Amino acid sequence: MGAPTLLSVLMMRDKILEATVVELDQHGITQFRVKRVAALAGVSIPLLYSYFGNREGLMAAAIVTRYRTVMTGLVEIFTEPLKHVETAADLNAALAVMIAEAQEPERTTARLLRLEGISFAQHNPEVSEGIEQVKRDASTTIMETVQPIVDRRLLADGMSGEAFARIWYALFFGQVAVEGEHALSVSDDAWLSALSVLASAMVRDCASPKV
């Protein structure tokens, strides 16, 4: 039997990573077990370690992979509605779509997974470096989508493209549902109304002259 090809190596690595992500999703970081990962991937533990070195390396690679998947999904919420915006009315409609999609329950789950990855990164340089690269890639994608909106001068005076992107990034990427009754409790209707007011204020008034 010949030496493994690059493609077969990459496929096996991806298979192990997929199994590791499943293990993390099902059992979390504290209850993570390499034995279950190997069984799910259908490989021996020694073979698994030949790809990732050790338990920490395996977990680090999987956390970065999961973080990238989560961020890709969140970035799509931001970018997809904006891709075909040409007028202020289009932008208002796109923001309404973004607001609605950001409220879906699975978005909160995605945010929590993202936060878990950030927490692990504080103790693992490999994860930290990987997450920073994912953030750079996500930021570049977002700004490439926002720039045509800036070029068409659709944002309100004083609202830069970077500020526009950062405000929505903070709302949709950092927001985590806060349950229960407390000083910051707000009804769903009130929250959506506030987001709509914010969105409207960020878009240039169609009747305003473009000087």
Same domain, 48 and 67: no
pLDDT in tens, 162-180: 999 988 887 766 655 555 6
**Residue 207 pLDDT more than 50?**
no
pLDDT in tens, 13-41: 999 999 998 998 888 888 999 999 999 99
pLDDT at 173: 66
Residue 158 lies in a domain: yes
Bigger pLDDT: 115 vs 53: 53
pLDDT at 17: 93
pLDDT in tens, 120-168: 777 888 888 998 898 899 999 999 999 999 999 999 999 999 999 988 8
Same domain, 42 and 131: no
pLDDT at 41: 94
- Partner residues linked to 203 by β-bridges: 155
Bigger pLDDT: 152 vs 73: 152
Residue 141 lies in a domain: yes
pLDDT at 93: 95
> Measured between alpha carbons, how far is residue 91 from residues 87, 155, 158, 205 in Å?
6, 9, 17, 11
pLDDT in tens, 103-121: 777 777 777 777 777 777 7
Domain CATH number, residue 9: 1.10.10.60
pLDDT at 36: 95
Range of the domain at 75: 63-202
Residue 91 lies in a domain: yes
**Residue 210 pLDDT more than 50?**
no
Q: What mean pLDDT, rounded, does the chain reach?
A: 85
Same domain, 119 and 148: yes
| Domain count within the chain | 2
Same domain, 109 and 180: yes
Mean pLDDT within 87-103? 90
Residue 58 lies in a domain: no
Same domain, 41 and 80: no
